[in-house]
Amino acid sequence: MTRPDVLDTLVSLAKRRGFIFQSSEIYGGTGSVWDYGPLGVELKHNVKARWWNAMVRERDDVEGLDAAILMHPRVWEASGHVSGFSDPLVDCKACKARFRADKLGDAACPRKPSKKPGEHADCELTEPRQFNLMFKTFMGPVEESASVVYLRPETAQGIFVNFLNVQQATRQKVPFGIAQIGKAFRNEITPGNFIFRTREFEQMEMQYFVEPGTDMEWFERWKEARLQWHLGLGLDRDRLQFHQHTDTELAHYARAAFDINFDFGGTLGFQEIEGVHNRSDFDLRQHQAFSSKKLEYVDQVQNKRYLPYVIETSVGADRVTLAILVNALREEAVEGEQEGRTVLGFHPALAPIKAGVFPLTKKDGQPEMAERLAAALRKRFPVFYDEAGAIGRRYRRQDEAGTPFGITIDGDSTANDDVTIRFRDDMGQIRVATSQVAEVLTRYLEADHPRADSRLVG
Ligand code: ATP
């Protein structure tokens, strides 16, 4: 079954509601670079916080790191990026468009989008040539080859070069891991599909250092753990698949690699959102050779030294955010109403705003009571106060922002000191004492339970 293509709908919803804007839009935009607006920054922040909690805070065998984007240029020689981080590029002499030679099947001929590049009578594709994807710049005031530095194309190398620093500072014993979240830059030949492939993006990477011989066992464990993490975000099970790298896809140093693919729908279909790789001791061995510094781990229990193998989990924060948006988007009819509704049915933990607070009318003390409640709730989570327009409209606006709970203060509220909580997903409602609202919502958020089920009340 091909799922519908919702990217165009999402691009306009994301702009209208302030999730994601095109970078430098007033100047016509920058090629495939995007800015996160007020709701988008919260959503992506929640994704990153969930990853950080799962990978660092909830484990005692993984340490956090925040390495710099600019690194010594030798790092990229050792890692193989200077000589090998390239994609095959083909030009079309007829229309001047450029394509990745290995992704022609996913591209469209600009003259006739129903055809692939090369299929139209006018197409004149050149032979592929290698194009290095690293952005280059200069460190210091002189623009000469000796001062060339690169914007990192992945965060992983910051972890490899700090392997011993972290190990010695924390006294971790192998097996242990180092995790970080940060920006990466790739001068992609054919970026596109909204935030799926961009030239500036964020990665969440973890390198887990293990004793050689135990690597495949750890590889399997991490593969499973990472799939579970994606399921925990609320991504549908049948939209997730493993893809095993074939011999031709596998990097020469890798012992095994699986991608976790998500079904984005439409022609994009299943695409990688995360890679889980067994990188052997390739990276540490290369850095040891290029830096002439010993990077061996000293195993005092077994009285031996070795270069650990590395299991890497590498996931794009932006790509997962796109998967979450695609997975969450629903356009549905509402019984008894002419207009349907658009809902972003986010997992409550990811929702940018947790609750909308709405006085039914602008009189009789309702706005004051609502503002007091909103201020109290803001101490726990992001809240949106809205007194403008019909209540149905206000609910719809929050459905579209993915807000799981709506709290309405009506005529009875001021008399009885209670409010209605309305649930985004089933639109069910419960009545709760004002003093209990914060507790009840926290319980629902912790239970991942955005439905009107009164079992969680009281
Ligand atoms: P692709 O084959 O799609 O170019 P890759 O195999 O080069 O990806 P990795 O180097 O394994 O990707 O990067 C790990 C993760 O970083 C990817 O799974 C993806 O989520 C994210 N990522 C990589 N490149 C981009 C990009 N240009 N824009 C957004 N996210 C990216």
| Residue nearest to ligand 1 atom 20, measured at CA | 316
Asked if residues 159 and 178 have their Cβ atoms less than 8 Å apart, the reply is yes
Residue entry with tokens 């990477």: 205
For the CA of 277, the closest atom of ligand 1 is 11
Phi, psi of 258, deg, nearest 5: -125, 140
Does 190 have pLDDT greater than 80?
yes
* Per-residue pLDDT band at 335 (split at 50, 70, 90): confident
372 is written with which tokens? 């007091």
199 is written with which tokens? 């030239």
Q: Residue 393 Cα, ligand 1 centroid: separation in angstroms?
A: 39
| Residue nearest to ligand 1 atom 8, measured at CA | 272
| Residue nearest to ligand 1 atom 19, measured at CA | 316
| Residue nearest to ligand 1 atom 1, measured at CA | 272
pLDDT digit string (tens) for 191-230? 889 999 999 999 999 999 999 999 999 999 999 999 999 9
CA distance 319 to 122: 35
* Per-residue pLDDT band at 429 (split at 50, 70, 90): very high
> Where on the phi/psi map is residue 336: left (φ > 0), alpha (ψ -120 to 50), or beta?
left
Q: Residue 314 Cα, ligand 1 centroid: separation in angstroms?
A: 8
Q: Residue 307 Cα, ligand 1 centroid: separation in angstroms?
A: 27
Between CA 325 and CA 336, with CA 330 as vertex, the angle to 5 degrees is 150
Pocket of ligand 1 (CB under 6 A): 154, 186, 188, 197-198, 201, 203, 272-275, 314-316, 318-319
For the CA of 260, the closest atom of ligand 1 is 18
* Per-residue pLDDT band at 103 (split at 50, 70, 90): confident
Residues 266-278 as b/e (b if ≥16 CB within 10 A, e otherwise) read eebeebbbbbbbb
CA distance 140 to 149: 10
| Residue nearest to ligand 1 atom 12, measured at CA | 275
Q: Residue 269 Cα, ligand 1 centroid: separation in angstroms?
A: 16
For the CA of 316, the closest atom of ligand 1 is 20
For the CA of 272, the closest atom of ligand 1 is 18
CA distance 62 to 57: 8
* Per-residue pLDDT band at 106 (split at 50, 70, 90): confident
Question: DSSP letter string over 382-418?
Answer: -EEE--SS-HHHHHHHHHHHT--EEEEE-HHHHHHSE
pTM exceeds 0.85 for this model: yes
Asked if residues 158 and 138 have their Cβ atoms less than 8 Å apart, the reply is no
Per DSSP (E only), the strands in 34-166 are 34-36, 62-64, 86-91, 98-100, 129-132, 135-138, 148-151
The least confident of 119-133, 258-272, 417-431 is 119-133
CA distance 94 to 112: 13
Q: Residue 101 Cα, ligand 1 centroid: separation in angstroms?
A: 17
In angstroms, what CA-CA distances link 457 with 2, 191, 344, 346, 430?
40, 48, 25, 22, 9
